[in-house]
Structure 1
Amino acid sequence: METVRTQELLRRHLPPAPASVLDVGGGPGTHARWLAEDGYRVHLVDPVPRHIAEAEASGCSVEPGNARALSARDDSYDVALLLGPLYHLVDAADRKTALAEARRVVPPGGLVAAAGINRYASLFEHTALAHLDRPALQDGIGRILATGSHDGKKGFTETHFHTGPELEAEMREAGFTDTRVYGVEGPVRALLKATEQHTGESLTGSRMFASAPAAARMAEPYPDLLAASSHLLAVGRN
């Protein structure tokens, strides 16, 4: 669901292929692969050697690197994607630097898209999994809800969790215009997860699964519903 909707949202905004795309923090090439298949010229940067090795099979060029200090020249790509770095950068100053670097490598009018994990995602996730009878987990999720941060000592990795308005503000403060934040999965991901968890059945191909993207699209005009989506995608122009 996350991948399908990310593709859908990016395809609305991407310039026509064969535009050049810098996939910053692109991991093993999850998005680089379909972008290359769509005809884009993709260069992937990631700090993890294993990811770089896997991404070489995705049809793009690869390079080890850091979102806060890109080797790319100014104005050298039509599009820069930050579909992983922002939630791994728990310090606001580091996120600001990463966004500034992404802006630097695209020309005026160039597209930058950045993903975030919703601050409320862990609450919805563990409600769906029926884990909230555990006081320690309640405490951890409570800290995420209050601060937007997880220290990575238990469970999930060290993470910053955005609200929709916060992610939009970070994009605008970085100098992007025409900024918009989308809820990626929309308001039904927890419902799907709970149904699969407690019935033991995969919903892929079901009417319920087919309804989920429709619900996400219907929610797009209503900013209040951003809080219900596990992942956020911000797009803006240099």
Structure 2
Amino acid sequence: MPHHRPAEPDIQRYYSEVFAEADRLHRTPQGRLEARRNQVAALREAARLTRPGGPVVGAVISRNAALIDLTAQGRVDERTRRLLLGAYATGVNDPETGFTTAYFHRPEQVVEEFTATGLPVPRLYGVEGPLWPLLDALDTGPDDQLFHDAVACAAAFEQDPAVLGASAHLLAVAPA
């Protein structure tokens, strides 16, 4: 069977159109409501497929991720700062910021989505911890002491409600 791949411009155009439509829908109240319904439906299906008592796990991008990450990279100017503050306020990112177009959650929204499915309140974890932008800015790797100290810091704070949103990603776990 011959291997066929569409020409590169066709692939790029296709994904650009798909992401533009998803972004357009996500920016409307109706689109956000539909996205939430889809997230709840996906969690409900995960719970249905999980053995009783088994873990249902969800991962989301933190509401703070874009502003923290792009600021730490020195990629924020007055125009992008305005867009990033809008994403922080609404959870909907403008792709012009150069950051992903996914919805950004607050910790309490993750809890609401889990409980809307009938699952118990999930345990929430901050994945990277509050020092992740520092590690990136200093190009710190697993062989550096600062990396180990940052991991220990992340472990100490991983379930602290006051610090959860400082992680780029949140992990939620509830029994089915």
For 1:113, what is the secondary structure of its paired residue?
strand
Q: 1:100 aligns with which of 44, 51, 61?
A: 44
**Which residue number corresponds to residue 108 of structure 2?**
165
Deviations 1:180-208 (A, max 9, x none): 11000111101111222xxxxx4331000
Q: Is structure 2 residue 54 aligned with structure 1 residue 110?
A: yes
Q: Is structure 2 residue 150 aligned with structure 1 residue 222?
A: no
CA–CA distance in structure 2, aligned partners of residues 167 and 104 of structure 1? 18
Q: Is structure 2 residue 62 aligned with structure 1 residue 124?
A: no
- Cα distance, 1:164 vs. partner? 1.1
One-letter amino acid of the structure 1 residue matched with residue 51 of structure 2: P
CA–CA distance in structure 1, aligned partners of residues 99 and 121 of structure 2? 33
- Structure 1: 4+ residue segments shifted above 2 A: 151-158
CA–CA distance in structure 1, aligned partners of residues 81 and 96 of structure 2? 15
Deviations 1:158-198 (A, max 9, x none): 210011111122112212225111000111101111222xx
> Which is further off, 116-125 or 174-183?
174-183
Q: Is structure 2 residue 81 aligned with structure 1 residue 138?
A: yes
- Segments of structure 1 that go 5 or more residues without pairing to the other structure are 1-88, 197-201
Q: 1:211 aligns with which of 146, 149, 152?
A: 149
Q: Say if 1:150 and 1:159, in contact at 8 Å, map to a contact too.
A: yes
For 2:59, what is the secondary structure of its paired residue?
strand
Q: Say if 1:151 and 1:159, in contact at 8 Å, map to a contact too.
A: no
Identity of aligned residues (%): 35
For 2:86, what is the secondary structure of its paired residue?
helix
- Cα distance, 1:151 vs. partner? 4.5
CA–CA distance in structure 2, aligned partners of residues 160 and 112 of structure 1? 20
CA–CA distance in structure 1, aligned partners of residues 100 and 66 of structure 2? 12
Q: Say if 1:112 and 1:235, in contact at 8 Å, map to a contact too.
A: yes
Instruction: Report the TM-score, using the length of structure 2 for normalisation.
Output: 0.75
CA–CA distance in structure 2, aligned partners of residues 178 and 143 of structure 1? 28
One-letter amino acid of the structure 2 residue matched with residue 147 of structure 1: T
Distance 1:154 1:192, change over 3 A: closer
One-letter amino acid of the structure 1 residue matched with residue 87 of structure 2: I
Aligned length: 145
**Which residue number corresponds to residue 181 of structure 1?**
124
One-letter amino acid of the structure 1 residue matched with residue 43 of structure 2: L
CA–CA distance in structure 2, aligned partners of residues 218 and 184 of structure 1? 11
Distance 1:145 1:178, change over 3 A: closer
- Cα distance, 1:136 vs. partner? 2.1
CA–CA distance in structure 2, aligned partners of residues 158 and 128 of structure 1? 19
Q: Say if 1:109 and 1:237, in contact at 8 Å, map to a contact too.
A: yes
CA–CA distance in structure 2, aligned partners of residues 123 and 153 of structure 1? 13
More contact order relative to length (CA 8 Å, sep ≥ 6): 2
- Cα distance, 1:220 vs. partner? 2.7
- Higher strand content, 1 or 2: 1
Instruction: Report the TM-score, using the length of structure 1 for normalisation.
Output: 0.56
CA–CA distance in structure 1, aligned partners of residues 99 and 92 of structure 2? 11
